[in-house]
Amino acid sequence: MRQVIEFELNGQEVSAAVTGGQTLLDLLRDEFELYGVKEGCGAGECGACTVIVDGLALTACIFPAREVEGASVTTIEGLASAQGELHPIQESFVNQGAVQCGFCTPGNVLSAKALLDENPSPSEEEIRVAIAGNLCRCTGYTQIVEAIQDAAGRKS
């Protein structure tokens, strides 16, 4: 049975008819065509599907769609300005060489955003903890950590 939910998606009020078993990942990709939300493992283990819900980075592949009723959801599509200017965290990822194949990048950027919104000056350890659930096969993580440090430096 479908249930109509309303929530905020990248700053816009939206509604959707969801089923009980539908994941937030499927809702965002299939109904809203937000393909920056990647499907990797589908089991909550790789972080490719990370989005921000009410300030918390979480894995959309195991999060029930109906639970975003009344919440604020941010995907990678919500970060750049309407004019297409990259968010400072995205700029830092580009500048620090933290993007290679790019599959993990939306998730890592959103985990970084949730961290920096909560803690504008994180330690390296805090950064590594924040992205611990975001697997990257390409970069070895050093550039990702440096990108987040760079982004934190720009904000302060």
Report the interface residues with ligand FES, using CB under 6 A: 39-42, 44-49, 59, 61, 99-105, 136-139
Q: How far is the CB of 31 from ligand FES (least distance, A)?
A: 17
Phi-psi region of 38 (alpha: psi -120 to 50; beta: other; left: phi over 0): beta
CB atoms under 10 Å from CB of 80, counted, come to 13
* Residue count (the chain): 156
Amino acid at 119: N
Q: Which parts of 39-141 fold into alpha helices (H)? A: 88-95, 105-118, 124-130
Q: How far is the CB of 138 from ligand FES (least distance, A)?
A: 3
Q: How far is the CB of 69 from ligand FES (least distance, A)?
A: 21
Closer residue to ligand FES (CB): 4 or 56: 56
Q: How far is the CB of 70 from ligand FES (least distance, A)?
A: 23
CA distance 156 to 151: 9
Closer residue to ligand FES (CB): 4 or 34: 34
Closer residue to ligand FES (CB): 75 or 139: 139
